[in-house]
């Protein structure tokens, strides 16, 4: 599930020279960004009856996942910049709008990351019959446990991606295989949208579809680290698109065949039905599989949050610490110390996620999706821009014919999905924590906050400049590193002593 990029470690706008990720590595990482498994998807049936859900899943795969995957593969092979979408938007839209795009992505990732501890707590809560407050405490414990492991060294979680994949997939596969004998097709075609049956929430259904499939647009985030993009990406999207779609559809088919009552479908219902189908051992297997899945997904999203902030804040502070001994405390605060990024970024993002887990999971998803829609609009613009401005650019992988026309037609359904989702979010009038229209107003507040963040960050750069005498601001508000850096793209292409992170400006 969720559906975002795994790393922004080397900044944007340039090609990295060290490529270490092969096809299998991209496939395993991509699985957690494009799906992660079936866990938590029970809540789809809160949005719509089964007939609408299956239609939405299939149309979403064809008109959203496939275009996103083909666009990401094409740009990743032609322009293998580390950071993917962030780099392409920054290059086509300019440094200032590109930096706002990165801010929106960071906000989206924080909300996305916070949803996975909530889902994990729901699975434990259903089995142990816990209250809402007890589930929230478990969610915070989940965040705390992963944060402690990350502070000991991120490599422990990164190296476990293969094991997490197997542990996540095995219970779901057993469930589908054993449950096939229970198939009852009439339970898959329910189109009753009456109030008594549970109704139809178009805004929530669209949010779920985008949330489930948007990870295909983030596969390009690793483009700069893939050994042979032109060979890896075609294989990965050929495997992931049908695999992800199958593991979204088949478990729901099994579950609805066993229990067609929509109101029963809360996170954890798969666990209950798995125990009923095969015994307690498979129910326990679902708890283990869900924990592995949500661990991989939470870690993936929160790494992006950490590295996004580090890319903007760490390097100027480290340079200041190196040049001014009296500011050495900045080095202790912002140096990564073997944890991938400085512990302050790990703790800050984990603390924010720990607060957000107290929100309802459907609100977290819809908040995340609203901001994801904004970045998708810029992404599609960037793709069409390359088709218009660079028609002769070498494209080692290109299954989208007809030049600009083909590019527009491929981007159109993704753009339409984003705009329609924003429209329904604006008119839904849903309440969150008793506040009417909270989701759309919350999204507007976070987008508007980007302007404030811009001003704060520029003040931070001016302060660093004044303290070190080593930085100057360009006419557009970007930052140049003294005399040796002439590039205006952000982040800067140099790295600070003791860190692999680069930085830029809003």
* Burial of residue 16, with CB atoms counted within 10 A of its CB: 0-12 exposed, 13-18 middle, 19 or more buried: middle
> How sure is the predictor about 171, in pLDDT bands with cuts at 50, 70 and 90?
very high
* Burial of residue 166, with CB atoms counted within 10 A of its CB: 0-12 exposed, 13-18 middle, 19 or more buried: exposed
Res 64: pLDDT: 94
* β-sheet bridge partners, residue 226: 21
CA gap 420, 369 in Å, rounded: 12
Q: Which of 71-75, 77-81, 119-123 has the highest mean pLDDT?
A: 71-75
pLDDT for 339 beyond 70: no
Cβ–Cβ under 8 Å, residues 14 and 81: yes
Which one is predicted more confidently, 5 or 199?
199
Which one is predicted more confidently, 15 or 386?
386
pLDDT for 404 beyond 90: yes
CA gap 384, 160 in Å, rounded: 37
Rg (CA), the chain: 22
**Token pair 């404030």 is at which residue?**
452
Quote the tokens at residue 25.
Answer: 């590595």
Mean pLDDT value of segment 458-477: 56
CA contacts within 13 A on the Cβ side of 287: 14
Could you tell me where the beta strands, DSSP code E, fall in 240-390? none
Phi, psi of 436 (to 5 degrees): -75, 140
pLDDT for 476 beyond 50: no
**Token pair 């695999």 is at which residue?**
243
Residue from 84, 364, 55 nearest 189 by CA? 55
Cβ–Cβ under 8 Å, residues 424 and 257: no
CA 192 to chain centre: 33
CA gap 434, 424 in Å, rounded: 19
> How sure is the predictor about 439, in pLDDT bands with cuts at 50, 70 and 90?
low
Res 408: pLDDT: 95
Residue from 175, 173, 170 nearest 288 by CA? 170
State the pTM of this model: 0.77
Report the percentage of the chain scoring pLDDT > 70: 74
**Token pair 């910049």 is at which residue?**
81
* Burial of residue 164, with CB atoms counted within 10 A of its CB: 0-12 exposed, 13-18 middle, 19 or more buried: buried
Res 155: pLDDT: 59
Res 287: pLDDT: 87
Q: Which of 91-95, 104-108, 393-397 has the highest mean pLDDT?
A: 393-397
pLDDT for 216 beyond 80: yes
Element (H, E) at 471: strand 471-473
Quote the tokens at residue 258.
Answer: 């066993």
Residue 131 neighbours by CB distance under 10 Å: 9
**Token pair 């029963």 is at which residue?**
264
Mean pLDDT value of segment 137-162: 79
Which one is predicted more confidently, 133 or 156?
133
pLDDT for 499 beyond 60: no
CA gap 228, 265 in Å, rounded: 43
Element (H, E) at 488: none
* pLDDT, averaged across the chain: 77
> How sure is the predictor about 236, in pLDDT bands with cuts at 50, 70 and 90?
very high
CA gap 336, 302 in Å, rounded: 16
Mean pLDDT value of segment 227-243: 91
Angle at 229 between CA 228 and CA 234, to 5 degrees: 120
**Token pair 């839904």 is at which residue?**
428
């Amino acid at each position: 599930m969720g559906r975002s990029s795994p790393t922004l470690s080397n900044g944007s706008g340039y090609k990295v020279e060290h490529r270490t990720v092969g096809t299998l590595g991209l496939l395993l990482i991509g699985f957690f960004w494009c799906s992660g498994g079936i866990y938590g998807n029970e809540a789809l049936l809160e949005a719509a009856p089964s007939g609408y859900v299956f239609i939405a899943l299939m149309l979403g795969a064809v008109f959203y996942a496939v275009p996103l995957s083909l666009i990401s593969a094409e740009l990743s092979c032609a322009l293998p910049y580390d950071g993917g979408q962030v780099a392409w938007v920054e290059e086509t839209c300019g440094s200032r709008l590109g930096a706002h795009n990165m801010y929106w992505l960071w906000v989206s990732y924080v909300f996305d990351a916070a949803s996975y501890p909530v889902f994990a707590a729901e699975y434990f809560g259903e089995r142990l019959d816990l209250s809402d407050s007890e589930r929230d405490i478990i969610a915070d414990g989940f965040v705390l446990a992963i944060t402690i492991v990350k502070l000991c060294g991120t490599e422990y979680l990164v190296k476990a991606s293969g094991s997490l994949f197997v542990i996540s997939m095995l219970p779901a596969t057993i469930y589908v295989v054993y449950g096939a004998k229970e198939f009852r097709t009439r339970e898959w075609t329910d189109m009753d949208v009456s109030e008594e049956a549970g109704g139809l929430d178009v805004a929530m259904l669209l949010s779920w579809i985008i949330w489930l499939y948007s990870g295909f647009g983030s596969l390009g985030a690793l483009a700069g680290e893939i050994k042979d993009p032109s060979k890896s990406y075609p294989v990965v999207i050929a495997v992931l698109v049908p695999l992800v779609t199958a593991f979204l559809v088949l478990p729901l088919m099994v579950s609805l065949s066993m229990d067609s009552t929509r109101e029963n479908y809360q996170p954890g219902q798969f666990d209950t039905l798995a125990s009923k189908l095969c015994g307690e051992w498979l129910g326990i297997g679902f708890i283990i599989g869900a924990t592995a899945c949500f661990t991989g997904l939470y870690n993936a999203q929160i790494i992006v949050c950490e590295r996004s902030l580090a890319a903007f804040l760490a390097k100027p502070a480290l340079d200041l610490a190196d040049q001014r001994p009296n500011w050495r405390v900045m080095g202790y605060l912002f140096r990564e110390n073997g944890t991938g990024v400085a512990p302050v970024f790990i703790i800050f993002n984990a603390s924010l996620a720990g607060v957000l887990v107290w929100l309802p999971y459907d609100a977290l998803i819809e908040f995340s999706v609203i901001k994801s829609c904004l970045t998708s609009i810029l992404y599609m613009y960037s793709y069409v821009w390359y088709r218009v401005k660079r028609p002769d650019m070498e494209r080692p992988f290109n299954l989208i014919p007809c030049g600009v026309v083909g590019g527009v037609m491929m981007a159109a359904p993704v753009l339409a999905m984003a705009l329609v989702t924003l429209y329904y979010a604006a008119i839904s009038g849903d309440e969150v924590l008793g506040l009417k229209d909270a989701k759309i107003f919350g999204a507007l507040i976070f987008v508007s906050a980007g302007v404030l963040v811009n001003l704060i960050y520029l003040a931070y750069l001016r302060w660093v400049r004044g303290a070190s005498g080593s930085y100057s601001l360009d006419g557009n508000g970007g930052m140049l590193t003294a005399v040796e850096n002439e590039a205006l793209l952000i982040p800067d292409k140099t790295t600070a002593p003791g860190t692999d992170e680069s930085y830029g400006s809003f």
